[in-house]
Amino acid sequence: MAPEQKEEKNKPKSFEALTPELSSWILDFTSSSGFTRTTPVQAMAIPLLMGNKDLVVEAVTGSGKTLSFLIPMVERILKAEEPNKKGYVRGIVVAPTKELASQIWEVCRGLVGFHAPSRGYLKKAEGRGEEEDSDVEMEEKEEEEVLPGPYAIPQLLVGGRTKLPEDLATFSRLNPNILIGTPKRMVEVLSSSKVQVKRHWFDLLVLDEADRLLDPNFQPDLQRILELVPKERRTGLFSASVSEAVDELVRVGMRYPFKISAKVRSKSGALDKRTPESLRLYHLVTKPTFKLPMLKRILEEKQAEKSIVYVSTRAGVDYWNHVLPSLLGVSVFPVHGDHKHAIREKNLQRFRDSITPAILLTTDVLARGIDIPDIDLVIQLDPPSQPKDFIHRCGRSGRAGKRGTAITFLHEGSEEDYIKYLSMQGTHLEAYPSPPAITESEASQTTEQIRRTLQSKRELHDRSQKAFVSWVQAYNKTIPADIFSVRKLAWSELGRSWGLLIWPKMPELKRHCTEAVADRAWNLDLPPDFHLNDIPYLDKIREEKRLSDNAARARGEKVPLPAKTAGRLAEARKRKEKAWSQQKGAKEVREARRERKEVRRTAERRGKMSEKELGEARELEELIKKVREKNRAEREEGEWEGFDD
């Protein structure tokens, strides 16, 4: 890797050269963690953070960004004249997900565990008595004496793990000077009168995966954090992709920031590679019904022990979690944002500890920063909704110089243009070498196997309906919209690839596949003797309710809708009753705003392109223009049947 900027000619190459007075406990930790020398990211970031520089760091996944901000944060605390004062915070690290925050906290704990005074203080404060940490070997198994300070004491703050009063009680007992957590819980704790964030004491604010923290879901909490911490601070932004949102935050919350952009040289010598050279990126373009048979063959051929499979929605995780184990013959551990924190931690740990082939089935909640050792394979069954998340997903493999493979499945047709689109963004995908040859017979057998699983209990059929609807809705929001268009989907293939027993009721089918609305078994290739009503719920109460409702309908009685469904329908009626002119005006405003944003982004993106990249961009635009003209011509010829029932 070659950083774009250099602060001085003789850049330090090891921890000793970075800071000659660096304590031996840091060297012990780094060597025990496998870091025999600093990475270029650490070599530049550590001396800057040891000084008084605001910093923006963009570096490929697995390049050591976590240590590059934890080492200077901890050492500055230990070097301070008055490092500990009750209730006062010296450093804050904010991460977008609970898993990433927990991982950073674990790394920080391991770091301070090599500092005897801090280790002894933590043991006493947490009431653990004798040393039980197998990572730190001591010659004598005696209760460790608490040595005089200074101390570096981290505390983890994530929702779902503990309640807010418990976190505040821990803060009072532990007296931490480093807080690591997610935005919402961090705001709740910082707003307490027990926590003091004063400018004479506060030192460093770090935003890990900073571009993700600028998403609308996090922005209010992040803005509140920036208001609660002193303006006289040093700020560090770290991410594998620095977007326009981070540039905005630089202008708002930082002063004369120093930017480090550590990139990788590709085999051709280009310096704009977004992923580690040890990570191979492949694509597989195939029919939807061929995806799972191909995945099974690839897992067998590569003999992958640990793999991560990404899907687009939480409902998809809940559905495929029941289908994939028998289909692929491996253990599957699901993790998504709706799971409680304890369940997420448990499944992650079970996946890490698995000694047999295993798959971590997840959404973008585990796309960023999570470091799981020895991931052989990353599979994207569904592309991410935001292109910037693509490299984060792939970066779970091939970390810290280890070899890794990431394969992205794409549907035949317009999705093939996604490969060229990513290439324009600096991410180049190769065609998967020697892809498995799948026959129509194998694809049909896979569909039948999925259906046998669904027919084992009606609950799984319900999950398939919900998951398919959520997948279509997510697909409709995937960027770029010209490539991922619901109008271009091969509905028959999709229905069979999901093993559907019946088409769900959804507006997208009314607009783009009226045949499935008229006949809810259309092109699903179900056996003639199949009857959905013959499949019972395993839950006896739900089954009794279903049978009684069916009997009421047979008598001609009206069956009340579930409360949630009735509420959604009422909201839809209210929207329809709104004046048409108001609806049209609001829509026009939104479309104009969207067009202005797209024009600005396109101009900024093109300003950073080379002549070759501009040529590729124009070629892609021409391709999209031809597709649009073709679709318009088809509609004018009457081939599209519209909204007729």
Q: What is the pLDDT of residues 1-16, one digit of tens each?
A: 444 443 333 333 334 3
Burial class (CB in 10 A: 0-12, 13-18, 19+), 193: exposed
Kindly indicate the confidence band of residue 43, based on its pLDDT and cuts at 50, 70 and 90. Answer: low
Kindly indicate the confidence band of residue 196, based on its pLDDT and cuts at 50, 70 and 90. Answer: confident
Task: Assess contact for 357 and 330: CB atoms under 8 A.
Answer: yes
Residue 142 lies in a domain: no
pLDDT tens figures, 431-452: 999 889 999 999 999 999 999 9
The number of folded domains in the chain is 3
339 and 463 in a single domain? The answer is yes
Tell me how far apart the alpha carbons of residues 607 and 192 are, in angstroms, rounded to a whole number.
46
Flag whether pLDDT at 304 surpasses 80. yes
Residue 584 lies in a domain: no
Q: In the predicted model, what is the mean pLDDT of residues 68-87?
A: 81
pLDDT of residue 445: 95
Kindly indicate the confidence band of residue 123, based on its pLDDT and cuts at 50, 70 and 90. Answer: confident
Cβ atoms within 10 A of the Cβ of 484, count? 23
Q: In the predicted model, what is the mean pLDDT of residues 608-617?
A: 75
Q: In the predicted model, what is the mean pLDDT of residues 369-380?
A: 84
pLDDT of residue 296: 94
pLDDT of residue 132: 42
pLDDT of residue 620: 78
Flag whether pLDDT at 140 surpasses 50. no
Instruction: Please calculate the CA angle 469-408-499 and round it to the nearest 5 degrees.
Output: 35
Cβ atoms within 10 A of the Cβ of 124, count? 14
Residue with tokens 């995908």: 429
> What average pLDDT does the chain have?
80
Q: In the predicted model, what is the mean pLDDT of residues 602-616?
A: 75
469 and 413 in a single domain? The answer is yes
235 and 287 in a single domain? The answer is no
32 and 115 in a single domain? The answer is yes
Q: Tell whether omega for the bond before 288 is within 30 degrees of 0, i.e. cis.
A: no
Instruction: Please calculate the CA angle 415-417-420 and round it to the nearest 5 degrees.
Output: 140
pLDDT of residue 36: 43
344 and 308 in a single domain? The answer is yes
Flag whether pLDDT at 57 surpasses 60. yes
Task: Assess contact for 84 and 43: CB atoms under 8 A.
Answer: no
184 and 73 in a single domain? The answer is yes
Residue 630 lies in a domain: no
Q: In the predicted model, what is the mean pLDDT of residues 316-331?
A: 94
pLDDT tens figures, 488-528: 899 999 999 999 999 999 999 999 999 999 999 999 999 98
356 and 501 in a single domain? The answer is yes
Kindly indicate the confidence band of residue 133, based on its pLDDT and cuts at 50, 70 and 90. Answer: very low
pLDDT of residue 158: 92
Cα end-to-end span (Å), the chain: 59
Residue with tokens 């997840």: 362
Q: Which of 30-44, 203-217, 437-451, 593-607 has the lowest mean pLDDT?
A: 30-44
Flag whether pLDDT at 563 surpasses 60. yes
Flag whether pLDDT at 21 surpasses 80. no
Task: Assess contact for 506 and 469: CB atoms under 8 A.
Answer: yes
Kindly indicate the confidence band of residue 213, based on its pLDDT and cuts at 50, 70 and 90. Answer: confident
pTM: 0.72
Residue 639 lies in a domain: no
297 and 419 in a single domain? The answer is yes
Task: Assess contact for 281 and 394: CB atoms under 8 A.
Answer: yes
- Percent of the chain's residues with pLDDT above 70: 79
Residue 633 lies in a domain: no
Kindly indicate the confidence band of residue 288, based on its pLDDT and cuts at 50, 70 and 90. Answer: very high
321 and 456 in a single domain? The answer is yes
297 and 403 in a single domain? The answer is yes
Flag whether pLDDT at 162 surpasses 90. no
Residue 302 lies in a domain: yes
Task: Assess contact for 537 and 457: CB atoms under 8 A.
Answer: yes
Domain boundary among 210, 232, 263: 263
Residue 524 lies in a domain: no
pLDDT of residue 579: 61
Domain boundary among 462, 487, 518: 518
Flag whether pLDDT at 131 surpasses 50. no
Flag whether pLDDT at 144 surpasses 60. no
The residue that leads in pLDDT, 136 or 526, is 526
Q: In the predicted model, what is the mean pLDDT of residues 393-405?
A: 79
Residue 526 lies in a domain: no
Please list, in sequence order, all residues whose beta carbon lies within 8 angstroms of the beta carbon of residue 40, skipping any fewer than 6 positions away: 1, 2, 3, 63, 262
Residue ranges making up the domain that contains 223: 2-79+88-127+147-263
Q: Which of 117-121, 145-149, 214-218 has the lowest mean pLDDT?
A: 145-149
The residue that leads in pLDDT, 17 or 464, is 464
pLDDT of residue 634: 61
pLDDT of residue 10: 34
Specify the amino acid at residue 474: A
Q: In the predicted model, what is the mean pLDDT of residues 352-373?
A: 87
56 and 8 in a single domain? The answer is yes
Q: Which of 178-182, 308-312, 412-416, 451-455 has the lowest mean pLDDT?
A: 412-416
State the CATH number of the domain containing residue 205.
3.40.50.300
182 and 254 in a single domain? The answer is yes
Q: Which of 3-7, 88-92, 442-446, 616-620 has the lowest mean pLDDT?
A: 3-7
Kindly indicate the confidence band of residue 273, based on its pLDDT and cuts at 50, 70 and 90. Answer: low
CA 636 to chain centre: 42
